[in-house]
Amino acid sequence: MVQEPSFQIHLPDLKSNEQLFLETIYSLANGHFGVRDSNPFQGNADQFLGAPGLFVNGFYDYRPLSYGEKYSNYAENDQIINRLMDPRALQMIVGTSDSRKTPFDILLLDKNLDMKTGQLKEKFAVTTPAQEQFHLMIESFASLADEAVYGIRYSVLPLNFNRTVTIIKQHDNVNQNTNEPTDDVRVNHSMGLLNGFPLSNKLQPAYEVMTSQSQQSVTLTWHLVDQEDDMVSEMELNTPDELGYRTTYQAEAGRLKQLSFIYGIGPVVNNNEGFSNADFLKAMHQVKFDEAFAVSAEKWAKFWQHSDIAIDGDKSVQTSLRFDLFQLNQSVGRDGRTNIPAKGLTGNGYGGQYFWDTEIFMLPFFIYTQPQTARKLLEFRAQTLPMALQQARNLGFLTGATFAWRTINGREASSYWPAGLAQFHINADIAYAIDQYVTVTEDYEFLRQSGFEMLVQTARFWLEYGNYAEIDGKRWFVINTVTGPDEYSALVNNNYYTNVMVQHNLEMAVKYAHILSEKDADLLSWLGITDAEIEAMTDAARSIYLPYDQQKQIKLQFQDFNQLKRMPLEDIDSGKFPLLLHHHPLTLYHYQVNKQADTVLADILFPNGNPLEQLKRDYDFYEPITSHDSSLSRSSFAILAARIGYADEAYNFFTEAVQTDLLDLQKNTANGIHAGNAGGSWQAIIYGFAGVMNNAAVFTLQPHLPIQWQRLAFKLTLRDCEYAFEIMQTEVTVTLVKGGYGKMVIANQTIELTSDHPAITVSLPTS
């Protein structure tokens, strides 16, 4: 099969790349689990540098947080995704050389990730201490069709020997060790405290893996599916030090031999609830390598059919963008109990935890291309609502809910609360996402089931967290002592982004209360909503204080932002970034310096009512004081720059954002990809260059196609219709691919599409 180059991650000059970086880039995942692309001989040996391992979404353990001075209601525990044994690991005995006793020399020759099918192919040149040389080829995939399945096939080609070869696939420890130098504060180390209990059965090796503290377990099993006729395999099922397969054959120079394994990675089981290991092992035992790969590849084809973005004009941007889309689809939990870790399932940076990255950066991609997955992500938040209600009580509030800033299980896991827990904007981010989801999909069932309750409980929290105060002789609803998205300032009064999001949160609670009051009065009374409460929300939203500098005519990041000195970013040596690794937080809080878009993000999320000149002034003021030390920053600047006609800036920010991981711009791709940035890159195309107005009552498109591109094509789903958009420099063509009727505004022209007239081309004004 011919592989399309723009779907291949085939990095040139592999040897000059670091092992840890390659492990991340070539990780395979499917939303349930992820496998880093390790050196297959590393296992738990300490001779090699590397951080291999298997991560299962939502499978974590606690680590008690330690504080010098621990005040009331500080978070008790960190939650860290477990690092399980590496399913890629193998041991080989060639003649008398044993790879576990005396390490083999392994040289990477080639790696190719085919994003079209989700298949990773690798080739290594291996030399044993006795100078036997062979090529080792590995093909692997994480199934998108059956989330439990990981397949790996080894091919061995001896170059200069005829000897007995033994290939051993045993896993004598369910904890995976790493050997990696890092003191980066953004990395949480997994703890290696898993317990593995071999499962007695007649079929295949298996462990039940249990955490030490979180009361979770996962069943892990593997199965030799294909071997050649002259190979002899023995299987050990019941002892932890030999659990696995030992395959022996007579190798001959020039004769390729293959054997393949299927790993089964069961669901995360909480408190031993209702999971049958026996059924799982039986099901896994039926899985065949080629068939499993074929059905997974079909799923990938379907993904690309609906979610691809094609760009004519820049090949490397095209591939990088596809890498981002591929990573989004690899990282997303689809079961309503898990979410998207900030680093996907490609590493344990940020402990495998979920942040606002999901709602504000990644969810739009899913809302517009896989609405059913978007719903599952919101359902995850809904199932953590009881903990969010509890969190509000713990903090002393009588009403409402406040969601965890960073979490896996719904409880707060931030140890540094000024830049963690105090980012209360996450509540309004979730509310924003709920409204966006409902607006685009019209899924009122979700709204009734849990969306509306989240809107109301977050709005209640704001009513109590905020208060009325007089500023410049006027009565305002103010929100004090919060941290906005920018993490180089903390605990400020009236953060613009937070306040504008809170206003929207309150408005949405009121809006949907009115909508539901007609047919779902019971729901309102079950939630105890009164007219007085609706009035209080309406008044607070109307009276919210939005700080503004009258002199400079810009939105102020927070009330006293003007009083801070400006940090001269242009004078700082490039080696001193990210600033957070070189300065005490307080030093940074002391200056006008931004880690990431804050006020600018508000401008993007609320495009209406902002005159162009206002947006330009905001951009011109905030861009020079932003270090982009957060990977979430560049895509936001790209969107705003595209909207205000700063074409070069838009293009530069976008090309940087889209290549963040492949070029290792944040210098920490080794610990995992930047999933939020991948979503941001999608937004830069859709909201920036295509000019889609987010959450607009009528869907609008106002393209700003970069002059470097001849064509941009993508599909979006709105309600029950799917549309294909093709944007050229002079015209836009929209085609109704699915559904019966659609209306939208393109470049200020209203168009209507029907199944009889499914395609319309609109000319763009020449600039």
Nearest residue (CB) to ligand IFM, 344 versus 607: 344
Nearest residue (CB) to ligand IFM, 99 versus 391: 391
Question: Interface residues for ligand IFM in 567-596 (CB under 6 A)?
Answer: none
Query: Taking contact as CB under 6 A, which single stretch among the options 117-125, 325-333, 353-361, 469-477 is the one that binds ligand IFM?
Result: 353-361
Query: Taking contact as CB under 6 A, which single stretch among the options 125-133, 354-362, 464-472, 664-672 is the one that binds ligand IFM?
Result: 354-362
Nearest residue (CB) to ligand IFM, 356 versus 462: 356
Catalytic residue among 453, 487, 533, 623: 487
Tokens for 204, please give them. Answer: 């295949």
Verify binding: residue 428, ligand IFM, rule CB under 6 A: no
Site string for ligand IFM, 452-491 (x = CB under 6 A): ---------------------------------x-x----
Among this protein's residues, is 487 annotated catalytic? yes
Query: Taking contact as CB under 6 A, which single stretch among the options 45-53, 270-278, 348-356, 536-544 is the one that binds ligand IFM?
Result: 348-356
Shortest distance (Å) from residue 420 CB to ligand IFM: 10
**Whole-number Cα distances in Å, 389 to 142, 287, 301, 453:** 37, 43, 41, 11
Shortest distance (Å) from residue 588 CB to ligand IFM: 13
The rounded distance, in Å, linking the Cα atoms of 56 and 445 is 30
Shortest distance (Å) from residue 678 CB to ligand IFM: 11
Shortest distance (Å) from residue 135 CB to ligand IFM: 39
Nearest to 523 by CA among 476, 590, 453: 453
Verify binding: residue 497, ligand IFM, rule CB under 6 A: no
Query: Taking contact as CB under 6 A, which single stretch among the options 310-318, 351-359, 516-524, 607-615 is the one that binds ligand IFM?
Result: 351-359
> Is the distance from CB of 367 to CB of 440 less than 8 angstroms?
yes
Count of Cβ atoms closer than 10 Å to residue 718 Cβ: 18
Verify binding: residue 417, ligand IFM, rule CB under 6 A: no
Verify binding: residue 429, ligand IFM, rule CB under 6 A: no
Shortest distance (Å) from residue 576 CB to ligand IFM: 18
First to last CA, the chain: 44
Verify binding: residue 561, ligand IFM, rule CB under 6 A: no
The rounded distance, in Å, linking the Cα atoms of 689 and 248 is 57
Verify binding: residue 342, ligand IFM, rule CB under 6 A: yes
Residues 6+ apart with CB under 8 A from 432: 359, 360, 501, 504, 505, 508, 605
Nearest residue (CB) to ligand IFM, 375 versus 406: 406
593-623: buried (b, 16+ CB within 10 Å) or exposed (e) per residue?
bbbbbbbbbbbbbbbeebeeebbbbbbebbb
Token pair 């050997």 is found at 179
Verify binding: residue 42, ligand IFM, rule CB under 6 A: no
Q: What is the DSSP code string of 285-309?
A: HH--HHHHHHHHHHHHHHHHHHH-E
Shortest distance (Å) from residue 614 CB to ligand IFM: 25
Nearest to 365 by CA among 408, 297, 406, 306: 306
Nearest residue (CB) to ligand IFM, 216 versus 599: 599
Count of Cβ atoms closer than 10 Å to residue 10 Cβ: 14
Helices H, strands E: what count in the chain? 19, 34
Nearest to 498 by CA among 394, 360, 626: 360
The rounded distance, in Å, linking the Cα atoms of 478 and 497 is 13
Nearest residue (CB) to ligand IFM, 320 versus 677: 677
* Cβ-based burial of 241 (10 A; exposed 0-12, middle 13-18, buried ≥19): exposed
> Is the distance from CB of 680 to CB of 657 less than 8 angstroms?
yes
Amino acid at site 488: Y
Shortest distance (Å) from residue 440 CB to ligand IFM: 23
Token pair 């040897």 is found at 15
- Neighbouring-strand partners of residue 760: 734
**Whole-number Cα distances in Å, 47 to 103, 126, 155, 172, 180:** 8, 16, 24, 18, 11
Single residue of 303, 355, 462, 512 touching ligand IFM by CB under 6 A: 355
Question: Interface residues for ligand IFM in 622-641 (CB under 6 A)?
Answer: 630, 632
Single residue of 264, 672, 676, 680 touching ligand IFM by CB under 6 A: 676
Nearest residue (CB) to ligand IFM, 50 versus 679: 679
Single residue of 21, 33, 261, 356 touching ligand IFM by CB under 6 A: 356
CA angle 551, 557, 558 (to 5 degrees): 90
Nearest to 350 by CA among 751, 698, 22, 666: 666
Single residue of 303, 350, 512, 619 touching ligand IFM by CB under 6 A: 350
Number of chain positions touching ligand IFM (CB under 6 A): 10
| Catalytically active residues, by annotation | 487
- Which residues contact ligand IFM (rule: CB under 6 A)? 342, 350, 355-357, 485, 487, 630, 632, 676
